[in-house]
Chains A and B, each alone.
Chain A
Amino acid sequence: MKWGVVRFPGSLDDNDALYALAEVMEQEAALLWHKDTSLAGAECVLLPGGFSYGDYLRTGAIARFSPIMKSVEKFAADGGLVIGTCNGFQILCEAHLLPGALTRNRSLAFICERVHVRVENERTPFTRAMRRGDVLKLPIKHGEGLYVAPETELLQMEERGQIILRYCDADGAESEAANPNGSMRAIAGVANERFNVFGLMPHPEHAVEAMLGGTDGRKIFESIAGRA
């Protein structure tokens, strides 16, 4: 499968994402520059983590107006697969490709740790290699990951199955303690109504090698690549 990884000024995880996709997952992966408008034939576009444009004003607020995002929006509107991790998730929310927004962690602290998330909907291109209820161990590293959306929107998202990942403990149980940033309804990842755009705060690209703490991130890339 052909992947495009977008590099914004301030992206941090672009190289790790490229490494995970090309070296570990053996995919065809290319870097896309934020000022370009071509997606270079990518079948899946990945918006990586980092601090695009310094996260000035709000996280992702400036990046969403970069030239490449016009192409990403059109690609998504045509049904193309888009995944955003961390800052990429924030950009997708700012671009209205995903509902809701990500705000300052409840604790106000930057969190860098491994957490558990539970798969809530396995019938998506991003989770199809998993089963509902599966627990993934993935790293998070963010200061603004508290997911917020209006209550009416959350209800609709629940009904449609748009909540894809929830923070939980190692056994898959939800609790205050297992919700690292205070996200509403313990939301760690969501999809759009058409299920071709997916955003998550955890970093699957940092969990692809056992030597570096786990391989659960592979399951997300395997799900996506299996579709092509």
Chain B
Amino acid sequence: MQVKVFITPRKGILDPQGRVVEQSLRTLGFKDVTDVKVGKYIVLNVAAPSVAAAREETKRMCERLLANPNIEDFSFEVEGE
């Protein structure tokens, strides 16, 4: 089952990359852009008997390694949901 994991800087945590990208977009004339965040996108396959099992496994992977809860939030989509 393919899983797409999205990791973003936690709310309230300074995201200098997002800030600079936002400034750059504004400089280019995209005046309406706000709240830019730069994060990570991880794709993986997990052999699981059900979507629920894949979700549980992915959540554990995120908590253990893929995201740092001190500074990052994570969300994910499991194929077939």
Q: Do A and B bind each other?
A: yes
**Chain A residues packing against B (C-beta within 8 Å):** 57-58, 61, 65, 93-94, 100-101, 103-108, 146, 148-150, 182
Residues in B with CB closer than 8 Å to A93 are 70
Closest to B9 in A: A103
Partner of A107, one of B16, B40, B66, B71: B16
> Given A57-B65, A57-B66, A61-B65, A148–B16 Cβ distance below 8 Å?
no
Inter-chain contact total with CB atoms closer than 8 Å: 36
Q: Say yes or no: is B46 at the interface (Cβ < 8 Å to chain A).
A: no
A104 to B14, CA, bound (A): 9
Q: Say yes or no: is B17 at the interface (Cβ < 8 Å to chain A).
A: yes
A157 to B21, CA, bound (A): 33
Instruction: List 27 interface pairs A-B (beta carbons < 8 Å), by A numbering.
Output: A57-B40, A57-B65, A57-B66, A65-B65, A93-B70, A94-B68, A100-B70, A101-B68, A101-B70, A103-B9, A103-B13, A103-B14, A104-B16, A104-B17, A105-B16, A106-B16, A107-B16, A108-B16, A108-B20, A146-B14, A146-B16, A148-B14, A148-B70, A148-B71, A149-B70, A150-B70, A182-B16
Closest to A182 in B: B14
A151 to B2, CA, bound (A): 37
